Structure 1
Amino acid sequence: MINTENFEFEGTYHIFSHVNGTEVIFREPSNYQFFLKKVEKYILPIAYIYAYCLLPNHFHLLLRFKNFDDVNSENEHQFLMKHFGNLLNAYAKAYNKKYNRKGALFLNAIKRKKISDEKYLLKVLHYIHNNPINHGLVNKIDQWKHSSYNSYLNSEKESKLNRKEIMRYFDSVEIFRNYHKSTIEYDFLNFE
């Protein structure tokens, strides 16, 4: 079951949200880029992003929150959630205006699962990057342009991702690539 525990500073989380109903949240390539710009604006100031995957009807983020000494620890969750609320609201308002639609775009609030250990972190990383294959959108992981996977393969290219933190688990890009090609059971992730 998805954990609805409060966000904590310096906690690592798998975060995701789904479209409300049967619509899509990304209709065209510019939508994906616009969403990433909003992530950069609202989430990068509060978190290190390790991985992401944007699909037509949902998205995934793998991140670790920064520490904010000037925020009361009792308000950590509200402080961090406010940034996600701003992200989803800003995207939904622009999307609704562009496509002349009304109403909620995202299904409820974001879902989240705290990452408890290194093994779980790497399985979530694998899951997020393989999501386009799992949903039948592409045949090969590097064919999907709206995830962080290719950024890891092109490490010379500048990125807003915290690739260094993830790559310390892999001795080379080739090992990273082979890990993503391996088969992993996801039943333990329990995303209901």
Structure 2
Amino acid sequence: MAGTEHFESGFIYHIYSHANGKDLLFLEDSNYQYFLDRLLKYIGPIADIYAYCLMPNHFHLLLRFKDLMNDEISNEHQYLMKPFSNFLNSYAKAYNKKYSRKGALFLDFLKRKKVQDEKYLLKLLHYIHNNPIHHGFVSQAEKWKYSSYNSYLNTEKPSSIERREILKYFDTKEDFLGYHKSNVEYDFLDLE
């Protein structure tokens, strides 16, 4: 089941969460940018971010935890979870303050799934970047401002997204584009 796996350094994970109830996580452009700023501040030091998609009521991340150099860490999972707790709490506190809101913004449980092979990795990449199409917000992935997709299209521009690792799976930018426009079955994704 997704979300029950412990975090381990050196591995790639699909991480996602949803707003509590019918709440929205993002109400305006500045919310999306603030979320990304917090993501880089808290998660950037411990993980390479390969892809993301921020939707009004949920988000998806695809990242690889950096190898830990500290042998004194007794509980690797707790060590890697702490920045996520700080990240989401920091965003929720600022959001609640800005909108005079109280209570939990995110569901209690941060869902996560370890990526075990290349096929699963590429299908997740497709799923994450096409999420706005799947939910009917846009007709093309490049029209959604709040995902890493456009970072992959503009590789000349610097980015905090670790694009090199993902682009190794595609011979050309056209291959990358073609793959994202192809039909991919998501029934293998355990997203519950």
TM above 0.5, yes or no, is: yes
Matching residue of 1:28: 28
Q: Distance in 1 between matches of 2:71 and 2:98?
A: 36
Partner of 2:60: 60
Matched-pair identity in %: 65
In structure 2, the residue matched to 1:147 is: 147
Number of equivalences = 192
**Contact 2:18/2:106 (<8 A) preserved:** yes
Conserved in 2, the CA contact under 8 Å of 1:3 and 1:114? no
> Scaled by the length of structure 2, what TM-score is found?
0.98
Residue 43 of structure 2 corresponds to 43
Q: SS at the partner of 1:35?
A: helix
Structure 1 SS opposite 2:88? helix
Q: How far off its partner does 1:88 sit?
A: 0.3
**SS at the partner of 2:25?**
coil
Mind listing any 5+ residue stretches in structure 2 that lack a counterpart?
none
Runs of 4+ in 1 over 2 A off after TM superposition: 71-74
- State the SS of the aligned residue for 1:9: coil
CA drift of 1:59 comes to 0.3
* 1:74 Cα deviation from its structure 2 partner: 3.8
Deviations 1:57-107 (A, max 9, x none): 000000000011214454110010000000000000000000000000000
| Structure 1 position 55, deviation (Å) | 0.2
Give the secondary-structure state (helix, strand or coil) at the position aligned to 2:132: helix
* Letter matched to residue 63 of structure 2: L
CA distance in 1, matches of 2:144, 2:118: 26
Cα-Cα RMSD:
0.9
Rounded Cα–Cα distance in structure 2 between residues aligned with 1:3 and 1:131: 19
Q: In structure 2, what is the equivalent of residue 9 of structure 1?
A: 9
CA distance in 2, matches of 1:42, 1:170: 30
